[in-house]
A and B are shown apart, each in its own frame.
Chain A
């Protein structure tokens, strides 16, 4: 740490290196921390959470009972102990509350004045945060499993709503482009270009078109079971999918090629969408995947499992990474939202082991730098 600081000060290093090294260290030391709590508002399982991109301060959560809660994550008290307060709630008493389970919530990417929620009551609502009233309600013929707002769309604000029949589970916008990828329950993942409605660009194939390995039905499928989770990496170069065959796969988002990274068995019993996330600004990057009653952390490119975050008492449905503070928030069927906070380095260690640590971190960062 000190070495990084001094070299940073001397201008020997790219500022990014220090940042990467530190955030990687913090991610690796994520733990359930007694200092950080999240208010218990939900009386039922939590399906989805989202942290706003602009300030990184507000968190949305949608519950299986239709309730949506907004939390303040920022700790201004000056103490280490902090309980994230619920600022406002779209509770059961609210006139506009979703009748059934809320499946996805998302902030408007450029402003916290608006957020979008979709639910099993066949509606998608666009809410005004100030008044907690829906500004717009889209009604659909079937359940809405998922939606996604384009993160860069300043002009069009298109929402990839999964007006889905049962078969479509999840859709995500690519970071810089106009591609959407769509998961469907028949284990296929397709990538579309919004400008061309006639057909999809390509379909992800787990065997990369190698016909000898695939049985006839398994051709052009991403998973052997249903695919129910989808996530682009922070840089948009890769796409991650999870399926009920207990596998997670990493695809090249430009070519649709399976990178064949082996993550081992990623336990996945969910019948609905699985919300998982990828860290940002670390090196190597990490994937956080709900796995039964714990959250598994893998390195993205090697597929190595780093740790299991055990703390929930029931299935975990969603997790969200806070890019600024390297914190992880996870919600599950046990009605808890748990905050996984990096452990601060114990002060007494530094003097004794600073040297050894420094060497170790130096060597690791050198490698990382080489990668970057």
Chain B
């Protein structure tokens, strides 16, 4: 008997989705002995079904269903108590929902419904209550036995409602997105065209697609251009004539040796800035020479720059397109950057949002396609921008300098800071320092003066150096009355009553308040001190051989006051060392050496006797979990919120707070109880 209940408990607390077949076999074997055994198993299964843990219930249900198909006696027992059985497994009573964990509960319910269905088909006619239970589930609880998820009608309806609500929300969102799209579509397109034209300005032949089309057209069939897709060499001429020739930095690793003749033609644009004149000359020469040399293939030469068809031209066009910013193209680059920012921060996220909404809502194909097109073109524009490798650095630095000098107005500064688009300027160290002092000096400046002393303004005017150090303080009353002697300051004038016959007690009409007088010529500036980050570590030796890496200012919560330690974590000072040794001794005494769990385990392993090593070392760390295989229900509750709740709502703290509040109340009451307004509250 004991063995049976043990087996059942082991099976149910395994936490597995499947039963252990061997144990199950053993149970069946034991059950064959007599009906009493079956009774016993039945009762232990029912008691396990009553546990508030779905995993236990799930396993217990599996045992029950195994035995149900084997034993008539078990069937009669179970069917006699079928109401409770259904309550515990199918959740027929809404006041007793299935216990957590949720997923297992769901699994249990669907399995139970399936099983009841199969039982009904095989045993329904013989066991009346089984049939009744089945009909109850079917007709009253409206369980659909075909439904895979085994939901009741209410659940299904709820699900449907939820879906329709979601749909409605999506539809609204989609409508809003459509409207939004229509509104800003033009804007986006305008942005795109602007970007396009800016890029064209920066790099006229950057339009790769056009070039690709051009080249094959111009080339005759026997032309052996090894690298047709590289249009760069053809551009050189245009580049020279182009408006922004200087900013084009082309890295052309060109040329095999044999086209050295063409060397003058394929300019390395790095030089272009220096010898513009030369270029022009060469251009002229080129044209002349080409006209002279190859009259029949004029077109070819003009477009390709090759003199002979037999040349094979190998061009390794690296990714290194570079556009450098300078005075000439500053405006264009600025525009490009603005546009880039506009696209990345506004348009692209918006378009992505639309696409998300539209796909979720299952909106019209047309709209979706439009959104996708927009996204594609935006991304293409960004890609192009990327390829240009525009060098913003000079400009950015200029902006930084300007702001640090204080020339630039705040707006620009404000624009600069929140952007984090990858090319956010790196603030150099010295500038950063400058920034820091700038703000700090503004905030934490202590400043006081006495009216008798000479006004500091005169001092500051006397020397420029001092003026630099002079602090900036916000305008206040003290400055307003700077150096003036105010006769009325700090005087409270009480007007005499104007009443006809109601005359107050005689009193001074003028009261002088020293504090107020002082207030008008002094200023309180709080100086909380400067935050200095902690640079030292606790460095107490840890159990794993490392040193404690906590950086507390004064005291480590684990190792106490932070003291200077050497490399091994030993205290440098003798007294500290002594203290620590004493503590260690005390700890040893509390738990004798031989109780060391590891040592004990070793001894146990050697001798095979239980010395109780499991119990040692677990002290204070809570009880050992009874069934380690089951998922822990309490663990879910261990959230920051619950921990806080434990702290905040525990009795002693509540009492403490209540006491303080009562005290505060009482104080108020003592003070104001004679005034009805306060007395009431």
Contacts and interface: CB of A to CB of B under 8 A. Distances in A.
Interface of A: 32-34, 40, 43, 293, 310-314, 333-336, 338
B129 A311 contact: yes
B78 to A, nearest CB: 13
B278 to A, nearest CB: 102
Contact of A313 (B81, B125, B133): B133
Interface in B121-168: 125-129, 132-133, 135-136, 139-140
Contact of A310 (B83, B86, B126, B127): B83
Contacts, number: 37
A333 B132 CA distance: 13
Contact of B83 (A40, A43, A313, A336): A313
**Interface size range of chain B in the complex:** 10 to 19
A33 B128 contact: yes
Given A313-B86, A314-B140, A338 B132 contact: yes
B128 A313 contact: no
Given A293-B83, A310-B80, A313-B86, A32 B136 contact: no
B126 A313 contact: no
B143 to A, nearest CB: 12
B92 interface: yes
19 contacts: A32-B129, A34-B126, A40-B135, A40-B139, A293-B83, A310-B80, A311-B128, A311-B129, A312-B83, A313-B86, A313-B92, A313-B132, A313-B133, A313-B140, A314-B136, A314-B140, A336-B132, A336-B135, A336-B136
Interface in B85-129: 86, 92, 125-129
Q: Which of B86, B92, B129 has the most CB of A within 10 A?
A: B129
B139 A335 contact: yes
Contacts of A43: 139
Contacts of A33: 128
Given A313-B133, A335-B140, A338-B132, 20 more contacts: A33-B128, A34-B125, A34-B126, A34-B127, A40-B135, A40-B139, A310-B80, A310-B83, A311-B128, A311-B129, A311-B132, A312-B83, A313-B83, A313-B136, A313-B140, A314-B136, A334-B136, A334-B140, A336-B132, A336-B135
Nearest to A34: B128
Nearest to B126: A34
A32 B128 contact: yes
Contacts of B86: 313
Contacts of B92: 313
Query: Is the contact region of chain A dominated by helix, strand, or loop, or is it mixed?
Result: loop
Which 9 A-B pairs give the minimum distances between C-beta atoms? A313-B136, A34-B128, A334-B136, A334-B140, A32-B128, A313-B83, A311-B129, A293-B83, A335-B140
A204 to B, nearest CB: 34
A216 B127 CA distance: 53
Contacts of B83: 293, 310, 312-313
A338 B126 CA distance: 16
A124 to B, nearest CB: 29
A340 to B, nearest CB: 11
A327 B127 CA distance: 20
Nearest to B131: A34
A34 B126 CA distance: 7
Contacts of A334: 136, 140
Nearest to B130: A34
Contacts of A311: 128-129, 132
Contacts of B135: 40, 336
Nearest to A314: B140
B94 to A, nearest CB: 12
A148 to B, nearest CB: 30
Nearest to A311: B129
Contacts of A310: 80-81, 83
Nearest to A293: B83
A293 B95 CA distance: 15
Nearest to B136: A313
A194 to B, nearest CB: 42
A257 B574 CA distance: 95
Contacts of B140: 313-314, 333-335
Interface string B602-641: 0000000000000000000000000000000000000000
Interface string B66-92: 000000000000001101001000001
A338 B135 CA distance: 13
B137 to A, nearest CB: 8
A233 B140 CA distance: 35
B136 to A, nearest CB: 4
A314 B81 CA distance: 14
A310 B127 CA distance: 14
